[in-house]
Amino acid sequence: MLLEIGVALILAKIIGYAFEKVKQPAVLGEIIAGIVLGPFIAGRIFGIKYISAETEGIAQLGIIILLFMSGLEIGVEEIKAVGKNGLITSLFDVSIAFLFGYIAGNTLGYDMRTSIAIGNIMVATSVGITVKTLMEMKALHTKVGELILTVAVLDDVLGIVILSITLGKGQPLMILLKVFIFFFSFVLILLLMGKIKNIKFHIPRLMLTLSLAFALIFSAFAKRLGLAAVTGSFFAGLLFSVFPQRRRIIEFTRGIGEIFFIPLFFVWVGASFDFYALKDMGMLVLLFVPMALIGKVIGCSLGAKISKFKTRDALAVGIGMMPRMEVALVVVTTEISMGIFSDALAHQILAATILLVIISSILTPILLKIVKEKASTSQEG
Amino acid sequence: MEVYPIVNLKELHEKKIKDILDKKQVWNLPLVEKDANIQEVLSILTARDHVWVVEEKGKRKICGVITESDILRLIAPHRLPKYVFGKRYSVSLHHGTARKACDVMHKQIITCSPEDKVGEALLRMVNAGLRRLPVVENDEIVGEITTHYIIQILLGKR
């Protein structure tokens, strides 16, 4: 196991860096590193068995740290600062993306729980690639850039909330009660943290240890309530974002996360990729990927249009919100571990999500440039 | 060579912040309001290594801090981290997203009060990796403790 993990870290770094050099997300490189280490390449040639209980455990910790980091970076203050336009666009974005996923699942003949799970995968956007493209186009400071960044803040929060509500276990009333207990506890702790955030202790690295420990404990609490563990870690991140030591906690979490746990999560996702799943997933891919892309474009564009954006700018916001990456992969692996998809379907959905990540990363910059260039041309004309 | 401490460190640690604060310092603090233009922030940073951000001009209710290293990050070639969440990494001088002091500042600040002991404040600076702390009373900044200031006290220059 030690050898496999060591090799995985080096491969993930090298391939991830190579992807960054060709202006593609490093996450894709890390997934490819996993595919190389998985049963179909290194497994077949060298007899390496990367997927094990240990590597799965590390990947699960990677998920917790990734979502904790996401909550910390997004922050309670930033959520409060989201304006009317951001809120309207986010609500349209999240509800229509979810609906399109649900319709895709339903059309493919899956039951309600499976269709809801597919809807959940389509909700969270990753704007890294969009930010890079907007920077290249010198358009990050524009109204379009600002709205995309604002919507991305709420997008993850709403995505995690929907995940908690829709994937709870048990009777609907019990699920609602458990979700209520979770969010009530969150608000109570948030109020408490507001009171104690300036208490002065002099134990070295106390806040760093406490924050990480709390992320794990709050994840366990969410899991105990029948919600996904990632819900707990994300909201733990939000709770710790109110502390004066926030920047230091982010640096510490990014340190251990980026160097070790998170790349190993993406390597594990890649290693779980099943090439055999590709041959039976024709209709799934044909519906899953386009519905995921179109749902975002329609949802966000509609929200932006209602917020009085010009049609082309609204379309640019929709296209800018298309990419899926980290959180979509976290959602799909969480749903697989919750046993929502049957064995064969689990491999197919994971493969379809990886394809969605790849296609959305390639398509977004191209489409965004076309729409923005046409917008500038029509303005000049 | 023997070292003769000009000031007894143990005694210094036991002193209260208010006892070592220079009363004139309060008029010379680097302050900007949160809506101040980024040019104004940069202009102050040509002479100082940090700026305290206050809610309104003329008032001293503190809401943030901007340091040299924040500006260094803004003027260096922009690099996004591998995993991007929130808005922080999109703040850039080059891309026009850093316009006001509030776009750039650290919103959560670690503070000390005039009643704290110097030793406690120094420990807080060491633990948080900071070189300066604002001295805050009733949410208003009334002074600052910086590494420079403490060194000046150690050398008997204050």
A24, part of any domain: no
Q: pLDDT tens digits for A259-269?
A: 999 999 999 99
A17, part of any domain: no
**pLDDT in the model for residue A381:** 42
Per-chain mean pLDDT for chain A: 91
Of B95, B116, B128, the CB nearest to A245: B128
Distance from CA of B2 to the nearest CA of A (A): 31
Number of domains observed in the structure of chain A: 1
Contact B83 A248 (CB under 8 A): no
Residues spanned by the domain of A193: 68-259+277-380
Number of domains observed in the structure of chain B: 1
What is the distance in angstroms between the CA of the first residue and the CA of the last residue of chain B?
A: 25
B2, part of any domain: no
CATH code (residue A125): 1.20.1530.20
- Looking at per-residue confidence, does A1 or B102 come out higher? B102
The label of the residue with tokens 């910086």 reads B146
Q: DSSP letters along A178-205, please?
A: HHHHHHHHHHHHHHHHHHHTT-----TT
**pLDDT in the model for residue A169:** 73
Q: Which of residues 83-122 of B touch A (CB under 8 A)?
A: 83-90, 92, 95-97, 99, 106-111, 116, 120
Q: DSSP letters along B54-107, please?
A: ESSTT--BEEEEEEHHHHHHHHSPP---SS--SSGGG--TTTT---BHHHHSBS
> If pLDDT is split at 50, 70 and 90, which confidence band does B4 have?
low
Of B78, B92, B108, the CB nearest to A246: B108
A271, part of any domain: no
A40, part of any domain: no
A281 Cα distance to chain centroid: 23
Q: What percent of chain A has pLDDT over 70?
A: 98
Q: pLDDT tens digits for A269-299?
A: 999 988 888 887 888 888 999 999 999 999 9
Nearest to A164 by CA among A184, A180, A153, A186: A180
Tokens coding A218: 């709050």
A interface mutation test: which of B70, B83, B139 has the most A CBs within 10 A? Answer: B83
B144, part of any domain: yes
B18, part of any domain: yes
Q: What percent of chain B has pLDDT over 90?
A: 58
A27, part of any domain: no
B66, part of any domain: yes
Distance from CA of A64 to the nearest CA of B (A): 14
Mean pLDDT for A200-220 is: 89
CATH code (residue B25): 3.10.580.10
Residues spanned by the domain of B112: 9-154
Report yes or no: B123 at the A interface, CB cutoff 8 Å: yes
Contacts B120 to A, Cβ<8 Å: 200, 202
B1, part of any domain: no
Q: pLDDT tens digits for A127-184?
A: 888 998 898 888 888 999 999 999 988 888 998 889 888 887 778 888 889 999 999 9
B134, part of any domain: yes
Handedness of CA A191, A193, A198, A201 (dihedral sign): positive
Distance from CA of B78 to the nearest CA of A (A): 9
The Cα B83–Cα B46 span in angstroms is 33
Residue B121 pLDDT exceeds 90: yes
Of B84, B107, B123, the CB nearest to A202: B123
For residue B4, which phi and psi values (nearest 5 degrees)? -105, 105
Q: Write the ipTM.
A: 0.81
Which chain A residue is nearest to residue B78, measuring alpha carbons? A135
Contact A141 B96 (CB under 8 A): yes
Q: What percent of chain B has pLDDT over 70?
A: 96
Contact B80 A74 (CB under 8 A): no
